[in-house]
Amino acid sequence: MSTLPPSYISCISRLLGNDTAAFLRSYEQPRAFGLRLNPLKLRAGDRVTENLIGLFGLKPIPWCSDGYFYEESIRPGRHPFHAAGLYYIQEPSAMIAAELLDPQPGELVLDLAAAPGGKATQIAGKMNGEGLLIANEIHPARAKILSGNVERLGISNTLVTQSSPQQLSERFPERFDRVLLDAPCSGEGMFRKDPDAAKQWSPEAVDACAVRQRDILPHAAAMLKPGGTLVYSTCTFNTLENEEIIADFVSRQPEFRLIREERMWPHLGQGEGHYAAVLRKEASSLPDEPEAKPTRTSKPRKNGSLPTLEDAAIQTFRTFAEEVLPGFRLPPNGSPLLFGDALYWMPVSPNTPASSKSLSGLRVLRPGLHLGDFRKSRFEPAHALAMAVAAEDAALTSDYSADSPEIAAYWRGETLPASPGMKGWGLTTVDGLPLGWFKASDGQQKNRLPKGLRSLSP
């Protein structure tokens, strides 16, 4: 409590009244730790899931079906299961926003301020690889972290963009079934986790955040289809950035209706606190436009279209996959896309707002599933592909237990011995779940785990 600014305590006292003392005492209590299991890799009741729950002593989080509490001493971020994408470490209260958004498989969804990726990966898990998620983050360093988390969890139907809300709203008016805006805020719910954050707090900082939120929210709303759901959330407590933002927005946007507001408090439950509002768009906000005149289309070539670079690249990949990943099938709704030497499988859903043409001019970090790269006329599979496939898809695997010295060595980037006759690309798996690629030759499994993902102390 000694780190809390007096002006902040005054604000909380006006907000909570008789509950202020209980709230302030929560700062003296240990904070809660949480993680979400990744439904793209795990299923409730399967062997690995049950072993993981027992290994970490996990206890269910009531408001999130995939969420669990764990004790701080467990440190699951240092376990190979984390590198294998089996879970995402996330503050428990923060899980409420994606639960309220309730995305469905096959929908078009936007997470407008998505870094570091907790809510985006939660949304993707609920979509189960069907439909399209655009996860956007305007800040370059945070966008890279977001992209890395999308890759680690094996998500194939997500585009990671790095654009301003205005750029996106101009490009995609009323195109998404659901939009999440986890708005940049004063972060009052972070004070127990990060006491230094409290030192940056001031009433002026709160006012500045509210101004920014009022600017961003209309752009999020403009991209939502009529009948769609918008969730606005923050990890702060003051009403200026929460209820007052929503009340002002609804008063200015009559096509929106407030469905629900949810408050999570650290003195009333296990978590740092969160605010979320669920809004429904009941009518279009676009101006009526004159009916567009039909455009002339060019006649198809009699002998079909000429092959593109993408056609040649995807055929090379299919040849590679027939040998190395005979059980793998590319997602049905997609198309190949070359970014320089990198080949992606870009998700394309019915009525999708995203295509290679519509993304022109936007900063795109990850236009779908990274399949691999062409280097000196040869194809090398991407780490993202290893994370998106199942072990049974691969022709060649080397499986080890999570506590084995081989997994520790692989995670450090070391070469492992290969059995006689082992040759070519294969997956190193931990308890049957992919951790990364190796390439076997001359009695060795040459390590292909990206250097940036290797650990010195697994």
Residues known to be catalytic: 235
Give me the torsion for CA of 261, 264, 269, 273, rounded to 10°.
170
User: Rounded to an integer, what distance in angstroms lies between the CA atom of residue 273 and that of residue 63?
Assistant: 13
User: Of all residues in the chain, what percent are helix, strand and coil, respectively (each to 5)?
Assistant: 35, 25, 40
Give per-residue burial for 26-51: e unless 16+ CB within 10 Å, then b.
bbeeeebbbbbbbbbbbeeeeebbee
* Nearest of 38, 43, 219, 171 to residue 117 by alpha carbon: 38
User: Rounded to an integer, what distance in angstroms lies between the CA atom of residue 354 and that of residue 357?
Assistant: 8
* Nearest of 90, 156, 97 to residue 124 by alpha carbon: 156
Cα→Cα distances 84→8, 205, 295, 431, Å: 41, 39, 49, 10
Give per-residue burial for 288-302: e unless 16+ CB within 10 Å, then b.
eeeeeeeeeeeeeee
Pairing of strands 274-281, 256-264: antiparallel
Q: Helix, strand or coil for residue 434?
A: strand
Under a CB-based contact definition with an 8 Å cutoff, are residues 72 and 96 in contact? no
| The 132-136 sheet, strands edge to edge | 256-264, 274-281, 224-234, 176-182, 108-111, 132-136, 158-161, 364-367
